[in-house]
Amino acid sequence: MEIPLVRHPESVTIVPIDGDEVVLVSQTRRGAGKRILELPAGTLEPGEVPAEAARRELAEECGLAAGTWRALGSFWAVPAYSTEFVHVFEATELSTVPPLHLDEDEDIEVERVSAAEAQWMVADAGSLAALALWRSTTG
């Protein structure tokens, strides 16, 4: 059986760090059939560069802006059947901003967890990979 190729735009995943906490989002995911915790993330709009998308998604999903941004790396989400390429950014020096409009299908709750516990609490591969990139660059 041949699995169809999913053509997906590039995306971003953000690792928002506030002191010794990581900001996560909880939302219902159809594939999981329940709410899961993950890092804030989203798809690039046409013509949008990854850094702009990361800023937009952090504001949209978490109501946060970052004073400092750092590119951590990138990876293919699921190259066996998807074209999605994920750019990962660390966001620090966080401040509250009015949240941007959520997409129609988003019902997001923001949670803060300790950086030590975050990798055990996220439930998607993209968040796990992004946290691994972050840990590998922070010593």
Instruction: Return the active site residues.
Output: 104
Q: Which of 82, 67, 83, 62 is nearest to 13 (CA)?
A: 62
Cβ–Cβ < 8 Å for 12, 57: yes
Tokens linked to 123: 């439930």
Following DSSP, what letter does each residue of 61-88 receive, concatenated?
Answer: HHSEEEEEEEEEEEEES-TTTB--EEEE
Tokens 């959520």 — which residue? 102
The sign one gets for the Cα dihedral 69, 9, 48, 108 is negative
